[in-house]
Amino acid sequence: MLRIENVTRRFGSKVAVEKVDIDIPAGQMVGVIGRSGAGKSTLLRMINRLIDVSEGTISFDGLKVSELRGQALRDWQRDCAMIFQQFNLVPRLDVVTNVMLGRLNRRSTVQSVLKIFSQEEQMMALKALERLDIAQTAMQRAGTLSGGQQQRVAIARALMQEPKMILADEPIASLDPRNAQVVMDSLRDINRNDGITVITNLHTLDTARNYCERIIGMQGGCVVFDGTPDQLTTDVARQIYGADGLDEAFSEAMTSTSIEPANKPKRKRKNAADIVAANQLGEAGVSLPN
């Protein structure tokens, strides 16, 4: 059980997340929706401890996540895998090596520096790629894959962490409709078959409705809805998206990934995502080939 108790996050005088109080039992698939700036990413980043809470407590099965330091914090970040909108692969490395990087937090520094992966780890990586239906790309450089393929590699890398929970920060925002569906299907499959809790930020109402058993709606940093897809009525959507967001909220045409134009401009890259990838590699002493 993930317990978020009275959690607030401020950036200077700006309150990004305010007094959020929710419990997420193991095995749920949860969608977090809301307009841009509602606080969705900040909430996920606090759970993963990319950023600290300003007030309140986050705990997991009794472990006080919001207070962890050092190795205990790294262990938590291994148990709580994160997937980002921009995939965060190392483009110059081949796909299978990218996937094996998911093992970094489970290995000694020496093994990591020398980039020694056991046969078992190599098999595990190939199985993860097979599961995501992209084993044929194993030896390709990650940067040569399509966006949808890269996101599947990122999910395979997350699986290598053998996580208890997967946090996905707008995992389909940069993808065309077909790839968006494949990625969401993969997350649902992992949730259902492996029992891994999935919490995903989504900017499309219908995707949240279609894939998530529980939807959390945020507005101005606060949770304004927490319920099932059936309970997400028009009135509730109005509350989440606000008066000037009604078109976005109600028009399935505007929110549907199934008909979202493939050439829609990419949303801005999240700096935290880049930093985390760089840190993971840097901490492990992995230097990248040119």
Residues that bind ligand ATP (CB under 6 A): 11, 14, 16, 34, 36-42, 203
Least separation in angstroms between residue 123's CB and ligand ATP is 37
Residue placing its CB nearer to ligand ATP in the complex, 40 or 78 = 40
Least separation in angstroms between residue 277's CB and ligand ATP is 17
Rg (CA), the chain: 19
Least separation in angstroms between residue 134's CB and ligand ATP is 27
Cα–Cα distance, 27 to 282 (Å, whole number): 32
Least separation in angstroms between residue 183's CB and ligand ATP is 17
Burial status of residue 249 (CB atoms within 10 A of its CB: 0-12, 13-18, 19 or more)? buried
Residue placing its CB nearer to ligand ATP in the complex, 78 or 203 = 203
Residue placing its CB nearer to ligand ATP in the complex, 43 or 81 = 43
Least separation in angstroms between residue 252's CB and ligand ATP is 19
Residue placing its CB nearer to ligand ATP in the complex, 101 or 187 = 187
Least separation in angstroms between residue 180's CB and ligand ATP is 16
DSSP the chain: -EEEEEEEEEETTEEEEEEEEEEE-TT-EEEEE-STTSSHHHHHHHHTTSS--SEEEEEETTEEGGG--HHHHHHHHHHEEEEETT----TTSBHHHHHHGGGGGGS-HHHHHTT---HHHHHHHHHHHHHTT-GGGTTSBGGGS-HHHHHHHHHHHHHHT--SEEEEESTTTTS-HHHHHHHHHHHHHHHHHH--EEEEE-S-HHHHHHH-SEEEEEETTEEEEEE-GGG--HHHHHHHH-GGGHHHHH-HHHH-TTTS-TTPPPPPPPHHHHHHHHHHHHHTTPPPP-
Least separation in angstroms between residue 10's CB and ligand ATP is 9
Residue placing its CB nearer to ligand ATP in the complex, 41 or 197 = 41
